[in-house]
Amino acid sequence: MNSVEKAIWYVEGHFAEEITLDDIADVAGLSRFHMSRAFGIFAGRSVSSHIRGRRLTEAAKSLCEGAPDILSVALDAGYSSHEAFTRAFRDQFGLTPEQVRAQRHTRNIPLVEPMKMDEKFITDIEEPRIANGKPMLVAGIGERYTCETSSGIPAQWQRFNPYFGHITGQIGDIAYGVCCNSDDAQNFDYIAGTEVADFSDIPQEFARLRIPAQTYLVFSHRDHISTIRSTIMTIWGKWLPESGHVLADAPNFERYGPEFDPRTGNGGMEIWIPIKA
């Protein structure tokens, strides 16, 4: 059982209790930062969002079976009042607890079921190289995402591509997809951009980021870009926990060199993960 599977097993067995990210990270043998990042990649949602969804899903099942006392269901789900439970329930499912109890089924609401490891790790992932990255100024289109909204990143690249090659002070012909400013809830900033000499003449609407000198593990992804999730899952869920490397709290990024064709998604790219030297 790998580290992420240990975390998933623990969450499923204890989501009705008061558990923290530190508890889950300790069971998995990972740092808070690594646990938060790896769980978000696998689950498509943050740890807290998944636990909340599992609790509310069990509450919905209880209600559709005719539970007579909604407050008791709310208390079992970790809510101290009917009002707080109803608000969270409606935000999660789009219906009130009373409506679900009255309809006696959950077919029309998005339940959060136990996670299954239905995506396989890559068994032949290339060994990464270690690189000393130089300081960089990166500018481009920035957005803030959650795990649930990160599917919007490809559209973000479509908005940036017309600028690429026409930005004052652009250095080289390499594009960068930079993840930074993440938190425990797996909200993060993503910049689709390029390296620039300075920030003085870039478009006003662009995000700007200074990346300091840093040591990186550099992984190659040579297949079509559509398969990138499997590579990322393998890096964060298997390779890194088994490697002994300590992650640095710094931006990580995708590097798209001139060999990458954004029209077809072919050509390959690199994933740069910051580590402590």
Give the mean model confidence (pLDDT) for residues 4-24: 86
HSE value, Cβ hemisphere, 13 Å, CA-based, for 13 = 9
**Cα distance between residue 53 and residue 33, in whole Å:** 22
- 268, 255 contact by CB (below 8 A): no
pLDDT tens string 186-200: 789 999 999 999 999
- Going along the chain from its start, the domains and CATH numbers come out as 3-103 (1.10.10.60), 129-275 (3.20.80.10)
**Cα 118 → chain centroid:** 17
- pLDDT score for 117: 56
In the chain, DSSP assigns E strands to 129-133, 136-145, 170-180, 188-196, 207-211, 214-221, 252-256, 269-275
Q: In the sheet where 129-133 sits, what is the strand order? A: 129-133, 214-221, 269-275, 252-256, 170-180, 188-196, 136-145, 207-211
**Cα distance between residue 21 and residue 51, in whole Å:** 11
pLDDT tens string 17-68: 888 899 998 888 888 888 888 888 888 888 889 999 999 999 999 999 888 8
Confidence check: pLDDT of 160 > 90: yes
Other Cβ atoms within 10 Å of 39 Cβ, number: 29
Confidence check: pLDDT of 178 > 70: yes
- In sequence order, the 6+-apart residues with CB closer than 8 A to the CB of 121 are 2, 230, 233, 234, 237, 238
Give the mean model confidence (pLDDT) for residues 6-25: 87
Confidence check: pLDDT of 265 > 60: yes
- pLDDT score for 6: 82
Q: What is the dihedral angle through the alpha carbons of 115, 117, 118, 120, rounded to the nearest 10 degrees?
A: 160
- 7, 35 contact by CB (below 8 A): yes
Minimum mean pLDDT among 19-28, 110-119, 202-211, 264-273: which range? 110-119
What is the chain's mean pLDDT, rounded? 90
**Cα distance between residue 56 and residue 53, in whole Å:** 5
- pLDDT score for 1: 61
DSSP 8-state symbol, 237: I
Confidence check: pLDDT of 120 > 80: no
Share of the chain above pLDDT 70, in %: 97
pLDDT tens string 236-247: 888 998 898 999
Give the mean model confidence (pLDDT) for residues 127-143: 97
